[in-house]
A and B are shown apart, each in its own frame.
Chain A
Amino acid sequence: MNDLSPTCPVPTAVGDPCITLAHGEGGRLMRQLLREHVMPVLGNEYLLALEDAALLPPCDGPLAMTTDSFVVSPLFFPGGDIGSLAVFGTVNDLAVSGADPRWLSLGLIIEEGLPIATLQKILQSLAEAARRCDVQVVTGDTKVVPRGAADGLFINTAGVGVQVGPAAPGPAALKPGDQLLVTGPIGCHGMAVMVRREALQFETAPTSDSAPLRNAIGALRQAEIPYRAMRDATRGGVAAVLQEWAEASQTTLMVSEAKVPVTPEVRGACELLGIDPLHVANEGTMVLAVPPEFTEPALRVLHGVGETSRAVRIGEVTAGTLAGIVVRRATGQEVPLDEPLGAPLPRIC
């Protein structure tokens, strides 16, 4: 038998440090988490005040406000992560609404057991994205839920922006002859996430298009392009946006399949899984409708901005028929396109 140890056993950390329920309970651990991991990357005069609400300066125009929750799994995917996504998603919602994004709130719902290093990496990405978009995180909240009650990390961001210039007339103003543009290859985000989540093996995996659109929208505004409607084509993809526009304007939107830009990786994955890229989510690609005479000027402006340098015309607005969207397939046939019920489920063969 060994001699008894004269010292008291001390608890030692096993493995990587993780978020525990205590990190969300308002005590020392929570303050330590904020001090060591949140403030150094996100801190600014409003956030560092640690008040219950951020007191913001007066603005020179009407305010626009939006909110979005991010529950993407996996947290990291080719082309982005939940942190940058939580900034770009909300900033894009403000930008396409004609607002200049200024401030964000940040709500973190963390599943117990998330490695602190993972959280740190995500917060750094989030901070970098905020810098890129020139927005500040001015208030926040952190909750920790027991293992199994969330999927690693959920993020909610609300955004406030200042309306600049007159708001776009919106989809109800679409007229036959208007041209439909997309600002880059479609379906990249949805397929990047699905391929990574389901661990599908492809030689070249799709990369998310997650990116801010405010520069492109700013450039369009500066060039005084009178767009009729503009929307980032997130969940439901380009088809969901067009469906809403067709309903709002009682027109039929005619899209040429051959003109819709799709990268070879996304196309390969979609063909294999039996999914139409028009239905797949984007996170940095928008659809806009412009009067026909502004098609070329709008494309020239978009081509001059990095994020939208691959913008193309994909179709046009026509007089209303029974179908909201009609796709001219590669074969030349014109076929109505319906919206899917929910997330597309891969076909079995």
Chain B
Amino acid sequence: MRYVDEYRQPELCQRLIAEIRQLATRSWTIMEVCGGQTHGLLRHGIDVALEGVVELIHGPGCPVCVTPLEAIDLAIDLARRPDVVLTSFGDMLRVPGSHESLLQVRATGGNVKIVYSPLDAVEYAASCPDQQVVFFAVGFETTTPATAVAVQQAGQLGLENFSLLVAHVRVLPAMEMLAASPGNTVQGFLGAGHVCTVAGYQCYQEFAQKYQLPVVVSGFEPADLLSGILECVRQLEQGEATVCNRYQRAALAAGNRQAEAIVDDVYEICDRSWRGLGNIPQGGLQLRGRWERFDARKRFALPELRQVESSPCPSGQVLAGKMKPRECEHFATTCTPESPLGAPMVSAEGACAAYYRYAKNAGDGACAQPIS
């Protein structure tokens, strides 16, 4: 399969692993920002392959994990209304709100529909004029262009029964917050490849300079990830801190200008509360005034919720890379995918779920150790 197999070749991956091991004179701490990368790393066992030379810290790039509690509670409120159909990406459904998840709401009669694209939600709204269709717009720069186009299309179609519950977040402000935090141990970043295909990577120049941290834009296949890690280690060994693109087949320095223009037409930057991390200045997007007729908060006069996490889940520390999932006392004991205490255990991209799935038992190479 093109664009996949060539980045999974065993010889290539083994060579990159050997190069990293050869180059590193000490153990470096690198954060992959994106949840998709976390999955790739664990699925292919790269974290174990690099044990001792690179410690990989899983960043806050799982979109459903950082979606604030209040947004989920609002989505649940909407889904319970008889005239509303709440449409959402599939993996948002299992994330617990204050009291329940959208999956539970659906099971008890709420109107929740999984869509694969926000444009499907627009199409659905056009076909059901008697129902209010709300799309739960979550995610990073990777999903914002699609939700922005959905709003534009709804505008062109003159739909009065389509709106967005917006909880979009932006990567760079979160990286800034982590880099500036007093206890930061991250020495280099793998930039989120798909975010960069949209937003480009010029925007990281100032960041790398200011915090003296290398940022290497990386893809998601094992050879992409290893090549990104190799470049990051090379820079760290040489004392460099620059922005480098190791996802050349997809990401351009300036990003996708057309997508950026659409996002800019529909959204403006705002402060946003991130689940587990708290308020991040300029950490989110909201609809611009001229599109506010598509804002579900306004259309349904939703209240300003200020929810407080009551769960014992230290997701903030996991998302900030200060705690590995296995270091959490609840991991795989009181917190499992069946009964998650926090969002990182829910989403397929969440660090805890990825650990549970791929590395629950694997500490210290345990998968090669017989039980008896």
Which positions in A face B, CB cutoff 8 Å? 198, 200, 250, 252, 264, 267-268, 271, 274, 319-323, 326, 329-338, 341, 344-349
Contact = CB atoms under 8 A, between A and B. Distances in A.
A336 B46 contact: no
Contact of B357 (A274, A320, A338, A348): A338
B45 A345 contact: no
B112 interface: no
A199 to B, nearest CB: 8
Nearest to A332: B10
B91 interface: yes
B250 interface: no
Given A331-B44, A345-B114, A347-B36, A336 B90 contact: no
Interface residues of B, number: 53
B366 A321 contact: yes
Contact of B138 (A319, A320, A335, A348): A348
Interface of B: 1, 4-5, 8-10, 13-14, 36, 39, 42-46, 48-49, 63-64, 89-94, 114, 116, 138-140, 142-143, 194, 222, 337-338, 347-349, 356-362, 366-372
6 contacts: A333-B45, A336-B362, A338-B357, A346-B89, A346-B91, A348-B64
A338 B369 contact: no
B91 A271 contact: no
Given A321-B369, A345-B114, A349-B139, A335 B44 contact: yes
Nearest to B138: A348
B142 A349 contact: yes
Contacts of A346: 89-91, 116
Contacts of A326: 367
B4 A271 contact: yes
Closest 6 CB pairs of A and B: A333-B45, A345-B90, A322-B361, A348-B89, A331-B13, A330-B8
B371 A329 contact: no
Given A348-B138, A349-B142, A349-B143, A334 B371 contact: no
Contacts of A250: 371
Q: Which of A252, A329, A346 has the most CB of B within 10 A?
A: A329
Contacts of B49: 331, 333
B370 A320 contact: yes
B368 to A, nearest CB: 7
B361 A323 contact: yes
A187 B36 CA distance: 22
B361 A345 contact: no
B250 to A, nearest CB: 13
Given A335-B359, A348-B64, 8 more contacts: A321-B361, A323-B366, A331-B222, A335-B43, A338-B360, A341-B337, A345-B90, A348-B138
B367 A348 contact: no
B367 A334 contact: yes
B348 A347 contact: yes
B138 A341 contact: no
A45 to B, nearest CB: 45
